[in-house]
Amino acid sequence: MRAAKDVVPVVVVGAGPAGLTAAITIAQSGIETLLLERRSQPSTAPRATAISTSTMELMRAWGLEERVRERGLDAELQPWLCTTLATAAGGRALDAGFPTREQSALISPTAPACVPQNDLEPVLESHLRSLPTARVERGADVVDIESNAAGVTLTVRDRATGRERRIASHYLIAADGIRSTVRSALDIPVRGRDHLAERLVVLFRAPLWELLGELRYVIYLITGGPGPCTFVPAGLPDRWVLGADWDAARDRIEDLTPERATTLLRLASGDPSLEPGIEHVGIVPYGVHLAERFRDGRVYLVGDAAHRVTPRGATGMNTAVRDGYDLGWKLAWVLRGWAHERLLDTYEGERRPVAKHNAVRSADPNGSERSVAEELRVDLGGRIPHLWLPGAEERLSTLDLLADGLTLFTGPHEDAWEAAVASTAAQVPVTVRSLDTLTARALGVAGRGGLLVRPDGHPAALWAGDADAPGALRTAIGSVVSGDRSQTQPREGERLKRQAA
């Protein structure tokens, strides 16, 4: 039996990091958002454990940084190479592309964190449920999708009762994972390799921190014991995941009894008396793919529905979060009347290169090892520099000044830009932030110039002077809200002319 059709501006399918992030971003803008999740309860599997700089910057912007860190481990975001855990003191750190604490202090108001995905998701879901324009429904299966130029209609079945209902939405965000129901229903092909390798995973609890002491890292690469394998801390106080090579042609999961798993853990840890509490033993296939397109009309793919990566490099969850945020703020702008629908065309153009880079990296057997300089540019994506503001009672970064609309940074001489903002009559709000001379210069704002920045911290336009502030600002705003970024940066010749003027 079907009930009457509900109408919701945005429906998000999937309560993983991508779906939760997209839903929060949109609902915080005052837009009614419905999140549907087929699971009745959150997953307890740790899955990803490394939260990148850009993801933690988003948590800070939402006021969730401390809540997230409370669930995490005090560990450096680097691999530690050692023979066994018992001999870890003789090992060494490797570079995996995440900045150290010292490096983080120079580039960001926050730092990466070691927090299992199953501990991050409840924080995000709780925050989403606290928003008055958000609804979360668990135990809901999407069984049919009808999409056209006017919108999307879903048929949703309650898994507990079998009752079906129809939901109409202006936009649908598919965040329903590697085997996305939405992607399949829309016949969007994926390109890649689904069977690069297989890994044995053992989820267990044991007092391994006693072996490691102060050597706390996000992953331990074991070279001795039973052969190459990894230990990943996966929750407080002592929950762990062991990962090891698996050959399906040679090995059988049925042969890996709890006794054999215990022997494996003892050899790899270097503790012959270890008594682990084994929670799960399984095989995880490694594969990579990219959806042929991230959009089909008013339906958008985010996270694993759009791209699949392996755990190498720890980029999957972070890429998904930034997908959700990028699409979320752009959809919110369109639905609030701040931007033209063409802005949504920039979602795939901006996110696909990141997804492709991370997919290629994760397919490399050595993809876990990368330099910070190489990978930080991918994670931060060209956002403006972090600079602490002088003299503030509460320590504030330039990143803390970003608004939901556009932010215009100026030096101390902001009068012309204030007047320009007042004269634009733009639908999208523009917040002027006047900085001291040295901070402005460090952002590239010289003299009476200005820097226009999107809510994600990406520069939209930079001017050397304010001679034609109203006209320059109107042109730049028009380019941003229409999704045309070709005119947002002044050409070098124009810039030199303005400097000369």
What digits encode the pLDDT tens for the residues 62-90?
999 999 999 999 999 999 999 999 999 99
Give pTM, 2 decimals. Answer: 0.94
pLDDT, averaged across the chain = 94
In the block, tokens 């001291």 appear at 436
pLDDT of residue 495: 35
For residue 177, is it left (φ>0), alpha (ψ between -120 and 50) or beta?
Answer: left
Q: State the Cα–Cα distance between residues 41 and 21, nearest whole angstrom.
A: 18
- pLDDT of 391 reads 85
Cα angle 343-345-351, degrees, rounded to a multiple of 5? 105
The CATH classification number of 6-73+115-192+288-380 equals: 3.50.50.60
| Dihedrals phi, psi of 333, to nearest 5 degrees | -60, -45
Identify whether 237 is preceded by a cis peptide bond (ω within 30 of 0).
yes
Nearest-angstrom CA–CA distance, 498 and 199: 58
**H/E/C letters for each residue in 221-263?**
EECCCCCCEEEEECCCCCEEEEEEEECCCCCCHHHCCHHHHHH
The fold of 398-500 is: Glutaredoxin (3.40.30)
Residue count of the chain, please give it: 501
Domain extents in the chain = 6-73+115-192+288-380, 398-500
What's the maximum distance between 2 C-alpha atoms anywhere in the chain?
79
Q: What is the pLDDT of residues 12-68, one digit of tens each?
A: 999 999 999 999 999 999 999 999 999 999 999 999 999 999 999 999 999 999 999
From 26, 265, 233, 250, select the one nearest 135 (Cα to Cα).
26
Residue for token pair 């509460």: 394
CATH fold match for the domains 6-73+115-192+288-380 and 398-500: no
User: pLDDT at position 487, please?
Assistant: 44
Low-confidence residues of the chain: pLDDT under 50: 1-2, 487-501
Pairing of strands 239-246, 450-453: unpaired
Using N-to-C axis directions, what is the helix angle for 469-481 and 415-424, rounded to 10°?
50
pLDDT at 38: 97
What are the structure tokens assigned to 493, written together?
């010749």
Cβ-count burial of 373 within 10 angstroms (0-12 exposed, 13-18 middle, 19+ buried)? Answer: exposed
- Give the tens place of pLDDT for each residue, 156-208: 999 999 999 999 999 999 999 999 999 999 999 999 998 899 999 999 999 99
